[in-house]
Structure 1
Amino acid sequence: MSGFTEEQLSVREAISKICSNYPDEYWMEHDQTGEYPHELHRALAKDGWIGIALPEDLGGAGLGISEATMMLHTISESGAGIAGAQSIHANVYATQPVAKFATPEQRQRMLPKLIAGETRVCFGVTEPNTGLETLKLKTTARREGDFYRISGQKIWISSAQVATKMVLLARTTPLEDLKRPSEGLSLFFIDFDKTAPGLELKTIKKMGGRAIDANEVFFDNYKIPADTLIGKEGQGFKIVLHGMNAERCLLAGEALGLGYAALSRAAKYAKDREVFGRPIGMNQGIQHPLASAYMHLEAAKLATYHAARLYDQSTHDKSITQNAVGLACNSAKYLAAEAAFTACERAVLSHGGMGYAQEFHVERYLRECFVPRIAPVSREMIMNYVAEKALGLPRSY
C-alpha cells in the first residue's frame, strides 16, 4: 500500500474494521438468499461513510473520489466483493452531479438524509432499447405547470427495491427538434415512491451479485415536482458525465478488491493443499499464473488511482481537461476489470474441483467479476473511445 496518501490509508483502516464484522459466510448467505446487506449499509452510514465524497456542510466527509475508490476497493477486498461495494456505490457516484450542479436549497433538501442513511438512491439512465446510445434515450419528462410527468422504461437499475430516491436522466425535448442531440436530456433527483401511481418494478434474476437487486423500472405518467430538476433543462447529459467518470473509478476499485481477494484465497489454498507429498504452491504451474495475475492487478491499481487523482484535481486545476479525465477513468475501468477477471478465473482453477464449491467462495468471486467487464460501459466501447480520443482515429460508432 505504499504511495497512498494518509487520508486514503486512514479510510482503508476504518473500512477494514467495519467489514471485519461481515465475513465471507455472510456474503455467501446473502448471495444465496438475495437479501440486501442492510447491516453493512447501516454501519457505513453510522460512521458517516455514505457521504465520503460529499461536502462537509451537508454532513459529508468532504473527501474525493480517490478516497471513495479506496473505500469501495477495501469493501470488495474484504470478501464482500462487487455485491458489497454496490450496496452503496450509487450513493457515492450518482450524487456527484447533484452536489456540483444543484442549488444550495436543493442540496440541503436532497443530500443530508442520504448521507445519514435515512434515504438511498438509485441511478436511472440505461434503457432496454438504447443501451450505450445515451443521447437517444426515450424516457420522457413532460412539463405540466409545477410538475413533470415521466413516461418510459429503465433497465439494470441496481438497489431500486430499497431506494427511496432516484437520479434520473430523461428526455425533455424530442430528438427530432434538436440541433445538438446532447441538449435534449435533463437530470432530476426524484422521490422514488413505489406506492405512487405510474411506477412499477420488475426484478431481474442474475448470475452474480445477487444480494443487490437489479430491476426493470416502468414509468407511466409518474408525477414529480418541477423543483427536482438539477441544473438547466436540456443540460442533463453534460451534468451526468461528472457522475459517469466517477463511477468508472469506483468500479475499477471494486474490481481490484475482488481480484486481490481471489488471489489471497488462491495463495492460501496453494500453500495448504498437498498433492504427491508437496503443497501445490511449489509447482510453477500454480505459481506463475497467480504471480502474473498479481502483477496485472498492481498495474491496474496504478491506473485506477491515477484516474481518481486526475478526477479530483480537475475540479480545481483547469489545465486538466475532461478529455484527459475521461481517458484515464475509462482506461482504469478496463484494465482493472480485465485484471480482476484473470485473478478470479485463476483462483478457481488453482482450487481445482474445490474451486467449484461454494464453501471456498472463489466461484462467487468469478460470477461477480463479469460485472465490471460489462458495465457501466463495455470493453469494446472503451476501446472505441480510446482509439478516437487518444490516437485520433476515426470515430467507429
Structure 2
Amino acid sequence: MSETTPGRGVGAGDLDGLRARTRALCARFPDQYWRDTDRDRRYPQDFVDTLTASGLLAVLIPTAYGGSGLGVTQASVVMEEINRSGGHSAACHAQMYTMGALLRHGSDELKERYLPRVATGELRLQAFSVTEPAAGSDTTSIATAATRAGDDYVITGHKNWTSRILESDLALVLARTSDRGADRTRGLTLFLVDLRQVRAEQPATLEVVPVRTMFNYATNQVFYRGMRVPADHVIGEVDAGFRYVIDGWNAERILLASEAIGDGYWFIQRAVAYANEREVFGRRIGANQGVQFPLADAYMKVRAADLMRYEAARLFDEGKPCGAEANMAKHLASEASWAAGNAALDTHGGNGFVDQYDIERKFRETRMYQIAPVNNNLIKAFVATKVLGLPRSY
C-alpha cells in the first residue's frame, strides 16, 4: 500500500523521516508486548518511557521549552504510526493535546515551570479530568466545584473517564467556579494540578478508583474531596475554562482520527497478508471477490479519512478555524477503521478471534473511536447545525 499524501505546507520528506523514526521505535515493541499488556490490563510504561526519551512525545512543545516545535500534522503522524505498528497510542496521546491548553493559555510562570520538564519526561502530563457521570457529553453541566479559599481553590466533586491519572504527575481539571448563567459556557475554570504535591501533602483529598474496560485503557473514576490547588495554577482566566477545553478538542479529534487511521491501515495490511497466504479449496482466499471487495472498500474509506485528517491538521497548524474538519476527520476515520476491522475479522474467519493473530485485540481497541472523545452522533448534529445551518437539536 502506498503512503498517504501529506497536507499542503508540510514536506513529504519531513513526514517520511518522522514516520521512519516512529516505526523504528515501535519495532522494539512487537505484537507479543501489546498482547501481554492487554491481557494483564497493564500500563505500557516502558513503551511510553522509550517514546518520551526519543522526544516524540514533545513534538508539539516549542523549542524554547525543550520540545521539537512541530505541528499537529507531525504529531498526528506519530500517533498514526504507533497504531499502524500494532501498538495502542491511548497510553500516551493525552500529553499531545492536554499540554496545548497550558501552552496557549497558561501563564508564563506555569509554562516555564512545567513545560521543559514535560518535554524531557521528568514530568508526565497525561490526565485530563473533565467528564462527569451525570453530565456526560454536556460538559457545560458539570457540577464539580472549585471555591476560592485564600490563595487556593478547593475542589470537590466526582469525575469519570479520567484516564492515566495514576501514571501522571500533572493533571488538567475542569471545575465550576460560578453558576451557569445565560451564557452556559461561562463559569467553568481549568486548573493545572500538581499531583505530586497532592499525593504528598493531602492524599485524603484525592481518591482514584480504576475502571476495567473491554480493552487496555488506564481509566478511572476520581473523587475530589476538598483538594486544594494554588490560585496561580488557574489556566487563563477564571470562569473561561470551557473555551480552553474546546480549543484543545480540535487537536484531540485530529490526533484520535490519526490513531483510527493507523488502525485501519493495520487491519488492511494484516488481512491482505493473510488472504495472500491462506489457501482453502485449493486456492488462496484473496482470489475471492467476497474477500477482495470488503478490503478494497475499507481501504478507500481509510484513504478518504486520511485526506480529511491532513486537511484538518493543516488548518489547525495555520491557526485557522477547523472545528468542522476536525470533527469530520474523527467521524470518517472511526467509521473507516471499524469497516477495516470487520473486513479483517471476516478475512481471518475463526482465527480472527484468536489472540495470537491480534485482530480481536485491535478490534476491541478501535471500537472506542466511534464513542470517544465525542460520540459520532454528536458530530453529525454539529455538522448539521454548524455547517449546514439546520435548527439545533440538542
TM category (shorter chain) comes to over 0.9
Match of 1:357 in 2: 354
Amino acid at match of 2:296: A
Question: Please, what TM-score do these two structures have when normalized by structure 2?
Answer: 0.95
Between stretches 44-53 and 284-293, larger displacement belongs to 44-53
Question: Please, what TM-score do these two structures have when normalized by structure 1?
Answer: 0.94
Match of 2:56 in 1: 49
Q: Summarize deviations over 1:286-327 as a string: whole Å, max 9, x none.
A: 01110110000000000111101111111xxxxx3x3xx100
Amino acid at match of 2:294: P
Consecutive unaligned residues in structure 2, runs of 5 or more: none
Among 272, 276, 279, the alignment partner of 1:274 is 279
Distance 1:383 1:179 in 2: 25
Following TM superposition, by how much is the alpha carbon of 1:369 offset from its aligned partner in structure 2, in angstroms?
1.1
Matched, 1:288 2:290: no
Match of 2:237 in 1: 232
Q: Summarize deviations over 1:96-151 as a string: whole Å, max 9, x none.
A: 01101112111011212112112222001111110111111111111101101011
Match of 1:367 in 2: 364
1:254-333 alignment runs, 5 A limit: 254-314=259-319, 320=320, 322=321, 325-333=322-330
Among 2, 5, 21, the alignment partner of 1:3 is 5
Among 163, 188, 192, the alignment partner of 1:189 is 192
Among 196, 221, 229, the alignment partner of 1:216 is 221
Q: Summarize deviations over 1:341-389 as a string: whole Å, max 9, x none.
A: 0001110111011011000000111101111100011011000000001
Among 226, 249, 255, the alignment partner of 1:250 is 255
Match of 1:180 in 2: 183
Among 7, 24, 31, the alignment partner of 1:17 is 24
Secondary structure (helix, strand or coil) at the match of 1:266 reads helix
Aligned residue pairs total: 382
Contact 1:194-1:200 at 8 Å conserved across structures: no
Amino acid at match of 1:103: S
Moved segments of 4+, more than 3 Å? none
Amino acid at match of 1:57: A
Secondary structure (helix, strand or coil) at the match of 2:147 reads strand
Following TM superposition, by how much is the alpha carbon of 1:12 offset from its aligned partner in structure 2, in angstroms?
0.8
**RMSD between aligned alpha carbons?**
1.1
Contact 1:65-1:250 at 8 Å conserved across structures: yes
Distance 2:343 2:17 in 1: 31
Secondary structure (helix, strand or coil) at the match of 1:115 reads helix
Distance 1:136 1:90, change over 3 A: same
Contact 2:4-2:303 at 8 Å conserved across structures: no
Secondary structure (helix, strand or coil) at the match of 1:71 reads helix
Match of 1:102 in 2: 106
Contact 2:5-2:307 at 8 Å conserved across structures: no
Secondary structure (helix, strand or coil) at the match of 1:50 reads helix
Amino acid at match of 2:157: G
Between stretches 356-365 and 156-165, larger displacement belongs to 156-165
Amino acid at match of 2:243: K
Secondary structure (helix, strand or coil) at the match of 1:394 reads coil
Distance 1:194 1:297 in 2: 43
Contact 1:41-1:117 at 8 Å conserved across structures: no
Amino acid at match of 1:19: C
Matched, 1:120 2:121: no
Q: Summarize deviations over 1:231-289 as a string: whole Å, max 9, x none.
A: 11011011121211100000000000011111111111111110011010111110111
Q: Summarize deviations over 1:28-72 as a string: whole Å, max 9, x none.
A: 010001111111111111121121111111111100011000100
Amino acid at match of 2:144: T
Between stretches 335-344 and 100-109, larger displacement belongs to 100-109
Distance 2:312 2:191 in 1: 27
How high is the sequence identity, in percent, across the aligned residues?
39
Contact 1:97-1:242 at 8 Å conserved across structures: yes
Match of 1:62 in 2: 69
Following TM superposition, by how much is the alpha carbon of 1:2 offset from its aligned partner in structure 2, in angstroms?
5.0
